[in-house]
Homo-oligomer: A and B are copies of this chain.
Amino acid sequence: MNAADPNEILDDEAALQLDANGNLRHLLTLKGLDRALLTDILDDAEGYLTAPGDLPARSQSLAGRTVGNLFFEPSTRTRASFDLAGKRLGADVLNLDVNTSSRKKGESILDTIYTLQAMHVDIMVVRDASDGVPAYIARHVQPHVSILNAGESDVSHPTQGLLDVLTIRQHKGAFENLTIAIVGDIRHSRVAMSATHALTTLGVGDLRLISPPVLAPDADKVPGAHIVDNLAEGIADADVVMALRIQRERIGNLDGIPGIDEYFANYGVSHDSMKLARPDAIVMHPGPMNRGIEIEGSLADGSQSVITQQVTNGVAVRMAVLDRVGKTMAAR
């Protein structure tokens, strides 16, 4: 939606997110949110965790509010996660099936938003395949409405970034001493971007973004991170290894990677490649996984894996964010 420099866009979005009192109003990107705020959100999220089998944490902090899930790209896990987070805070949740929506009928996205706003849908959770859509919406809604980015093109997926750093903090404590390796299609990964933003703000020791050269990020988008094209080098002595999902159809087009076997051999996170990391390293993946492509199945199911914990943390950080923007709304 915008041909401007991507970092400028992100800076601009960052400024949009806080109200005049510095309270979180929208969550569009983790870039520009300061360490204190990120830490507060993670602390709040911890408060929403309960043991498996126990009842999940609940409150009525969003009672009377309506959360609208507007997923213009298909999603199971993120939509379900926001749906449950909203319901467990007492909100009404409206799931819009955008396959049968007005957008098909040629309605502009802003008209859809204005319609929902007029129905008192005061928190809108938006996923879209185009750059800049969540911020574009945030610039146009009424002052009491909050927009939460649930996945934006290759740009940003802030609640994923929060759940990732929460999971790392639970296992590894302070970020300063950590070596963190993110492996895969970094270039097209909103997950990698949001993790990078959060980890950089939180003062990560050494962040390595590992991919085939053609899937490496632009260096100016990831200041402070090391761009690495060799898995062994990138994963060496890492405390945390995060594998990213790769689109299968991309694989055939990579230099020297004619097929899945070659991709797995060169960039797959496996028991073999994990031997180079620290013995107590954790393994992460945002899901859904392509087992045998970017990650070895038995590793994903093994004792180093924290993948399902990431999912649990996902509901908790979404509750923390929803509760926070609800409080900002109520304080107006």
Contact = CB atoms under 8 A, between A and B. Distances in A.
A50 B114 CA distance: 17
A65 B84 CA distance: 11
Interface stretch (A27-35, A89-97, A272-280): A89-97
A56 B52 contact: no
Contact of A53 (B143, B310, B312): B143
Given A74-B101, A76-B112, A119-B315, 15 more contacts: A52-B142, A76-B96, A76-B97, A76-B101, A77-B102, A81-B119, A83-B94, A84-B120, A106-B290, A107-B288, A111-B291, A118-B308, A118-B309, A118-B311, A119-B312
Interface size, A (range): 35 or more
A299 interface: no
Given A75-B100, A119-B315, A94 B80 contact: yes
Contact of A80 (B83, B88, B96, B312): B96
Interface in A297-328: 308-312, 314-315
Contact of A88 (B92, B116, B315): B92
Interface of A: 50, 52-53, 55-56, 58, 64-66, 74-77, 80-81, 83-84, 87-88, 92, 94, 96-102, 104-108, 111-112, 114-122, 142-144, 248, 287-291, 308-312, 314-315, 329, 332
29 contacts: A52-B117, A52-B120, A53-B122, A55-B64, A56-B66, A66-B84, A74-B104, A76-B96, A76-B97, A76-B100, A80-B94, A84-B92, A84-B94, A99-B100, A105-B288, A106-B290, A107-B287, A107-B288, A108-B289, A111-B287, A112-B288, A114-B308, A115-B308, A118-B308, A118-B310, A118-B312, A119-B311, A120-B312, A120-B315
Nearest to A309: B118
A33 B115 CA distance: 29
Contacts of A80: 94, 96, 116, 119
A77 B115 contact: yes
A31 B83 CA distance: 36
A82 B242 CA distance: 38
Contacts of A144: 52-53
A300 to B, nearest CB: 8
A267 to B, nearest CB: 18
Contacts of A312: 118-120
A50 to B, nearest CB: 8
Nearest to A98: B76
Nearest to A73: B100
A164 to B, nearest CB: 14
Contacts of A120: 50, 52, 55-56, 84, 312, 315
What are the 9 A-B residue pairs with the smallest beta carbon separation, nearest first? A53-B144, A107-B288, A74-B100, A118-B311, A55-B64, A56-B120, A118-B308, A102-B288, A76-B101
